[in-house]
Structure 1
Amino acid sequence: MTAVQIYSTCPQSKDVPAGEYARAVADTARWSEAAGCTGMLVYTDNGIADPWLVSQQVITATERLAPLVAVQPVYMHPFTAASMVSSLAYLHGRSVHLNMLAGGFRNDLLALGDPTEHDDRYARTTEYSQILMGLLRGETVTREGRWHQVHNLKLAPTLPADLMPEVLISGSSPAGRAAAADIGAVPIRYPEPLGAETADAPTGGGVRVGVVAREDTAEAWKVAEERFPTDRKGQIAHSMAMKASDSQWHQQLSAAAQTQEVTDDGEPDPFWLGPFQNYQTFCPYLVGSYDRVAAAITHYLAQGTRVFVLDIPPSLEELEHIGEVFRRAGVAA
């Protein structure tokens, strides 16, 4: 069996009524733990609940699942982020993993008075992450950086060594891959259509991808198309987001949507961008029979992929279907 890490994704507060959200987070966390996931990505942006508070809900609902907290440097000082990690460890004896952001929605950043350009945002996240991780390692940190200046800074309570976080960062652009190397983070990319994959996919890196699979191909596509129906308003929103975005992964996926080809080997190409094109989610999907989707997962594994970040699961049953795909690909839950 191949050793990989699989993360699910937490529901967003904007998609769930307030009175139901805490339960939705807890339920999804329990499903993810039952399915054998390492952790669960918790998003952040200007329009949803704070990821650190949501992550505490994840921790209290589970026994071992690690929240993968999206950390936006514009939102808080690196000392504050480090303190969140160590405080949650102190209170609960649990690990929190970190998904370091360099961007996000550009209009969110502009609303916060941050016009920093794409590559400079990655340089800022690198500086931020190095301070944060130094504090978590128990170092006394002094740094005269471009964005942060700290002097003899030390963290308390200290973080036990066995609860040090895994760190992920977007690695779709050269700046992202360079930041991952400088931080020691896992670079996460949005995969291109099968057969058109990049030659520079980083060994030990990860992919962000959704999965819908069933024993029968037609059933898998039926489920996928019912979950993500064509939506004209969503297509317009996608087009507007593209115009406002300087994200290279967003541009790469949109280009892939224009060039995707359908195979003629008796089963449709599993790589599907319908949800992305209709502004329903922000990753490609793999759709088809267990064996066909498992072959796609095996393709990514052969490239050196060792982390998979899945989309928001609608149910425990759906995670069980995904688990069957990974089992057929030789991945241990």
Structure 2
Amino acid sequence: MKLLTTAPPSVQFAPGTYLEAVGTLAQWNEAAGVEGMLIYTDNSLMDPWTVAQAVMERTRRFKPLVAVQPLYMSPLAAARKVSSLAFLYGRKMALNMVAGGFVKDLEQLGDATEHDARYDRLVEYTQIMQALLRGETVTFSGTYYQVANLRLSPALPPELMPDLFLSGASDACAAAAATLEATRLSYTKPPQDLEPLAPLPGAGQIGLRFGVIARETADEAWREARSRFPEDRRGQLAHKMARGATDSIWHQEISQKAEDLHEARDGAYWLFPLRNYKTFCPYLVGSYGEVAAYVGRYRALGYTALILDVPSSEEELQHSLRAVKLGGAEVLHPASLTHS
């Protein structure tokens, strides 16, 4: 199970302070052996490519996982970003292809495309982008994109072809991920909800994202969790508003789960931070062994990538890594990150 982390959202920082924060976080993770960092995108956030370059400037081998929304740029522009950063830094990236977003964001961009059709569009977009990155002269006539004799410069070395991820939980997303041979990312349910369904569709190329709060004992972990994420009535209202402003399948499913569970908790699986609009993913809370057992169950279900939520400190990152490493997540040896 590959292990990555998440960049903090830029909206939480004053101008001029974000650069140091995201750079320091990337350095913590690289030193600890984490492979890369998800940099997500919406209409309220900084350009993720700019954040990715800042991260690459401050690390040696750390891999940005950049969210790519077709509405923000053409396939050629995205391919040029990848090849240009490879040309400058000799580094491999990863791309998280995003079909949708908040309804308000899509309305502001004048996009009324239906949910499933957005994944059809994303497949066309990604196929053009990948063909350009492979050095092909691309002529393509599809439902959403048409190009003729298009080429990319500077060329991308084959060994730097980006790893590909897709975000979503719908059948349309699963079909798109299979077509593109991409790893599908989602915000998962408790393992006991998924185990009766095994083998999961796409097993072997599926990933998940959650936060971890782990300590020597479960009591210590839960004290920390409740201190870090206290009840917030205003946040709960914001979460309900956000839930009503998206047609995302995973967001609807996990939000309903948060409402159905007593105290938003199922064993070590905890949705209280999400219900209070403090994050967009579940948390695993407990002793190192308890969290590791959950990670191991997800791994047994066929999950091959894990993206951790933003750690609150370097010490907290070490607590999280201790647990997920016990569960089988792949923490790279820091020495392997110091040489090209």
Q: Same fold (TM over 0.5)?
A: yes
CA distance in 2 between counterparts of 1:207 and 1:128 reads 24
AA paired with 1:296? Answer: Y
The answer to whether structure 1 residue 215 and structure 2 residue 213 are counterparts is: no
The answer to whether structure 1 residue 43 and structure 2 residue 40 are counterparts is: yes
Instruction: Give the paired residue count.
Output: 327
CA gap of 1:21–1:81, structure 2 versus 1, over 3 A, is same
Report the counterpart of residue 277 of structure 1 in structure 2. 275
AA paired with 1:79? Answer: L
* Offset at residue 327 of structure 1 (A): 2.3
- Please give the secondary structure, in 2, of the residue aligned with 1:19: coil
Contact 2:178–2:202 (Cα < 8 Å) also in 1: no
Report the counterpart of residue 249 of structure 1 in structure 2. 250
AA paired with 1:240? Answer: M
* Offset at residue 221 of structure 1 (A): 1.2
CA distance in 1 between counterparts of 2:221 and 2:266 reads 11
Contact 2:168–2:249 (Cα < 8 Å) also in 1: no
Query: 1:230-309 maps to which residues of 2 (within 5 A)?
Result: 230-260=231-261, 269-309=267-307
CA deviation profile, 1:170-219 (whole Å, cap 9, x unmatched) = 24110110010111110112111231114435312111111111111111
* Offset at residue 323 of structure 1 (A): 1.2
- Please give the secondary structure, in 2, of the residue aligned with 1:211: strand
CA distance in 2 between counterparts of 1:329 and 1:176 reads 27
Pick aligned residue for 1:116 from 113, 117, 120: 113
* Offset at residue 314 of structure 1 (A): 1.5
- Please give the secondary structure, in 2, of the residue aligned with 1:209: strand
CA deviation profile, 1:29-69 (whole Å, cap 9, x unmatched) = 10111121111001111111110011100000100001000
CA deviation profile, 1:81-104 (whole Å, cap 9, x unmatched) = 000000000011111210000011
CA distance in 2 between counterparts of 1:17 and 1:310 reads 24
* Offset at residue 290 of structure 1 (A): 0.5
Pick aligned residue for 1:168 from 165, 172, 184: 165
- Stretches of structure 2 lacking an aligned partner (at least 5 in a row): 332-340
- Please give the secondary structure, in 2, of the residue aligned with 1:79: helix
Shifted more, 303-312 versus 323-332: the winner is 323-332
Runs of 4+ residues deviating >6 angstroms: none
CA deviation profile, 1:215-256 (whole Å, cap 9, x unmatched) = 111111122122222111111111111112111001110222
- Please give the secondary structure, in 1, of the residue aligned with 2:16: helix
Over aligned residues, Cα RMSD in angstroms?
A: 1.6
CA distance in 2 between counterparts of 1:119 and 1:330 reads 34
CA distance in 1 between counterparts of 2:319 and 2:39 reads 22
CA distance in 2 between counterparts of 1:112 and 1:268 reads 39
Pick aligned residue for 2:152 from 148, 151, 155: 155
CA distance in 1 between counterparts of 2:222 and 2:238 reads 24
Report the counterpart of residue 131 of structure 2 in structure 1. 134
- Stretches of structure 1 lacking an aligned partner (at least 5 in a row): none
Contact 1:268–1:288 (Cα < 8 Å) also in 2: no
- Please give the secondary structure, in 2, of the residue aligned with 1:150: strand
Query: 1:221-232 maps to which residues of 2 (within 5 A)?
Result: 221-232=222-233
AA paired with 2:174? Answer: R
Contact 1:102–1:122 (Cα < 8 Å) also in 2: yes
CA distance in 2 between counterparts of 1:184 and 1:76 reads 22
CA distance in 2 between counterparts of 1:55 and 1:30 reads 13
